[in-house]
Amino acid sequence: MKKYFKNIINKLPVVLLLAAIVFINSCSKDSDGSNFSKPGEPVFSAISIDSGANGALVYVVGTGLGDMRSIIFTSQNVPALITPTLNTSTSVVFRVPDTAYGGKQNIVLTNSLGKSITVPFKVLAFATVSSVSPSTDFITNSVITLNGVNLGDVTAVKLTGTSDVATIVSKTKKQLVIKMPSTTKSRSTLDITNATGTSTTTQEFVSVANARVVYDDALQNGFQSWSWGVDNINFSNTSETMCGSYSMNAGWTGGWGGLQFGGGSIDLTGMNYLTFYVKGSAADQKYQVWLDWGPTTVITVPKNVWTYYKFKLSDFAPGKTSVGTFIVQIQGDPVSGNLWDDIMFVK
């Protein structure tokens, strides 16, 4: 038994050990079997951590800490859950609320007599982006919505490694709407600063203005439609777009029909990727994609959703230095038309 407690003592941090000792020795049980310590004149002595993320375990140690009735994180007055069995006259144990706002603030603990202690604390709640709409492609003044957590106190958004700052249009804890800046950078993540600090998105954003384009709001760089089995191509569709004002609605009419955009000229020097968006039709559909009638790559486009495709040119078209024709051929009979946007080559 002595050896067991010696091992515990060696492993526990000093403050956690103190909390464990006072919890064992000072609490008593009332008639219903729960731990109860009478309220007193609360005095703060120590805290296990002075900063932590949502969900972090916190030990507050002192005297007169019995019968705490509220624990409040003062930024936006967010309450923490109280567990009476973990509240003694000398310690209170709780977690940083999942809804706590980031940054320096206080934790205010109040007992049943209305007496309180105030403890400085910093909630580590970096901004995190889980999804982006409508797309990660952008032009100057594109309005993009970032969905995630800890976005309500964001003060700045800029392209990583630049001084190109986005305009914040609106913000809530789970959603940030921004207007993208002009930039000379081709691809970039975003640095997002809030009360906790600066975090960087995992998503990469692509400047259409700095790409070499087959189609954005129209066919570019000399490309023309030489398609077959695809009628009534609408290059100015406004029903849904990923970036800019228009997308392309391709009305497939024949089996093994193809979108063929030829007569163009794009220098691929310095370009690393072929990218585009497709919204599938009423069923999943396979297509083969290639440049200048070279090697083909087969893609499966899921039904009824926009999907982003990004191909590394060194794998997709190894050794290719220029392109004059972009082809997409349906495999089999079409179900119905689909939408395309931002067919382009990116650094």
Q: What is the pLDDT of residues 275-308, one digit of tens each?
A: 999 999 889 999 999 999 999 999 999 999 999 9
The percent of the chain in helix, strand and coil, each rounded to the nearest 5, is 10, 50, 40
pLDDT confidence of residue 35: 58
- pTM, two decimals, is 0.80
Structure tokens given for 212:
């070499």
User: CA 74 to CA 106: how far, in whole Å?
Assistant: 5
Mean pLDDT of 6-32: 44
pLDDT confidence of residue 24: 43
At residue 19 the predicted structure's pLDDT band, cuts being 50, 70 and 90, is very low
pLDDT confidence of residue 37: 83
Element (H, E) at 25: helix 14-26
Q: Tell me if 68 sits within 8 A of 44, measured CB to CB.
A: no
At residue 225 the predicted structure's pLDDT band, cuts being 50, 70 and 90, is very high
Q: Tell me if 267 sits within 8 A of 295, measured CB to CB.
A: no
Cα distances from 31 to residues 26, 28, 268, in angstroms, run 17, 10, 80
Q: What is the CATH T-level fold of the domain 2-124, as seen in this structure?
A: Immunoglobulin-like (2.60.40)
Q: What is the CATH number of domain 211-346?
A: 2.60.120.260
Burial class (CB in 10 A: 0-12, 13-18, 19+), 157: buried
From 3.40.50.620, 3.30.70.1150, 1.10.8.640, 2.60.40.10, which CATH number describes the 131-207 domain? 2.60.40.10
**Sequence ranges of the domains in the chain:** 2-124, 131-207, 211-346
User: CA 88 to CA 96: how far, in whole Å?
Assistant: 19
Q: Do domains 2-124 and 131-207 have the same CATH topology?
A: yes
